[in-house]
Amino acid sequence: MEWTISNLVNTLFKSILVFLVLSGLFYSQYIPSSGPAQELSNRWFSTDIPWELLALIAVLISFSFSALSYMFAKLFQSGDMEKLAKAEFMYAVSTVILIAFLIIVVDVLATKSSEFVLIFSRNNQNLYSIISSNPSPFVATEYYLNASLSCLNLKYQEAFYLDVLPSTASSILSLSWHNSLVRVMSDFTYLIYLLFFQKNLLSFISDTMLVIVLPIGIVLRGFPFIRSVGNTLIAVAVGLYFIYPITYSLLMAILTQSNVATSSCFINYNIATSNSYSSLPCISPLLKEAIQDIGLFKVNAESQDYNLISAFIDTSKQMVGEIILFAVVFPFVAATLTYTFIKSFAIFLNVDAQEMLEGLVKLI
C-alpha cells in the first residue's frame, strides 16, 4: 500500500503522542512490580541525566528525518530515498517500543535476579542475611570477593609470622621453608590484586551501566547515523549489569559448597566486622604487631612449629588453586557468557519494529 503525506503525518503525530504518554507515565508514576526490584529499577530513574527528554528529542529528530526524506523522495521521484524514509520511520517506531520494553525488562531482570540470589544463598546464613535486605547480584558477588580478600590477607599475615618470627628469633629456619613461605606470600599477593581488580570492576559496572551507559545508548539510537553505537551501548549496559554478576555469583556459590580450603573463609566471614579486605598486604596493620612481637616467639630444632609450617604451606597451596578459579577462571567464563549475550542482543536491537516484536515474543 502506497503511503501518502497525510498518512505519514498522521502516523507521525500518533507515534509522538504515544511516546509522550509512555515517557510521562513511566518516568513519574512507574513503580516496579515487586519489592526486590524497586531499588534496582529506581537506579535507572535516579540519574541526573535527563535521558527521557534527550530520547524524546532524538526520536523526534528521527521522525523528522524520515518525513523530510519521504517528501524529498516524492519530489525527486527517488525510490531509494523513499525506502530509506520508510526504514527510518520504522526505526523511530521501534525506538519508542524499545524504551517501553527496556523499562519492563529492567524490572523483570531485577526481580528474577533478586529471587535467584536469595535461592542459592540459603545455605550460607551470613550471605542470606546480608542480601535479604538488598537482594542484588552485586551484593552476592561482592560478598564472595570480600570474603576471599579477607581470607587471603589473613593467610598472608600468617605466612609472614611463620617466616619472619622464627628466622628472627633463631637462625635454624631452613632455606627451603623460607623459600616456600615467600612463594606462598607472592601467590597470595597476586591473587589479592586480581580480586581487587574484580571488585573495582563490579563497582564500576554497578555505578555506571544503568545510570550512564543505558540512557546514552537509548539517546544515540534515535539518530540514524549512530544507531548501531546506541544499540551496542544498550546491549553492553544490560549484559554487564545483569548477566555478568549473576553468572559470577552463581559459579562462586556452586564452588564454595564443595571446597574445604576456602569454605571456612565464607563461613567465618562477617562483613559487618571484617575490614581486612580494605588493606593490601604491603600495608597490613598486623605487620607492625608482628615486628613488635618478635621477641615473644621462641623456636628450636625439636619444636613442632616446622610441622605447623609444612601443614600451612600445603593448605595454602590448595587454597591458591581454588581461589585462582575465583580470580581468573570464573571472570573469564562470566565475561564469555556476557559477551555472547551482548553480541546477540545488539543484533536483536538492529532489526526493524516488526522483527523486534517477533523477537520479543520469542525471547519471552
Predicted confidence (pLDDT) per residue in 241-254, tens digit: 888 888 887 787 77
CB 83 within 8 A of CB 120: no
CA 13 – CA 21 distance, rounded (Å): 12
- Would the pLDDT of 206 be above 50? yes
Asked whether residue 321 is assigned to any structural domain, the reply reads yes
Report the pLDDT value the prediction gives residue 42, as an integer from 0 to 100: 55
| Nearby residues of 282 by Cβ (< 8 Å), 6 or more positions away | 189
pLDDT at 55: 62
Residues 177, 306 contacting (CB under 8 angstroms): yes
Question: In terms of Cα–Cα distance, which of 128, 152, 153, 154 is closest to 139?
Answer: 128
- Within a domain: residue 33? no
Would you say residue 80 lies in a domain? no
Q: Is residue 102 part of a domain?
A: no
What's the distance, CA 239 to chain centroid?
A: 8
Give me the sign of the Cα torsion angle 303, 307, 309, 310. positive
Nearest partner of 98 among 355, 340, 339, 362, judged by Cα: 355
pLDDT(298) > 50: no
In a domain, 3, yes or no: no
Among the listed ranges 81-95, 212-226, 261-275, which one has the minimum average pLDDT value? 261-275
| 308, pLDDT greater than 50 | yes
What pLDDT sits at residue 351?
62
The CA distance from 310 to 313, in Å, is: 5
C-beta of residue 16 within 8 angstroms of C-beta of residue 63 = yes
- Rounded to two decimals, the pTM is 0.67
- Average pLDDT of the residues in 251-279: 54
Looking at residue 283, its pLDDT comes to 40
The number of distinct structural domains making up the chain is 1
- Sorted by sequence, the CB contacts under 8 Å of residue 254 that are 6+ apart come out as 120
DSSP state of 242: I
Nearest to 26 by CA among 107, 110, 114, 135: 107
Domain span at residue 185 reads 112-363
For residue 146, the model assigns a pLDDT of 84
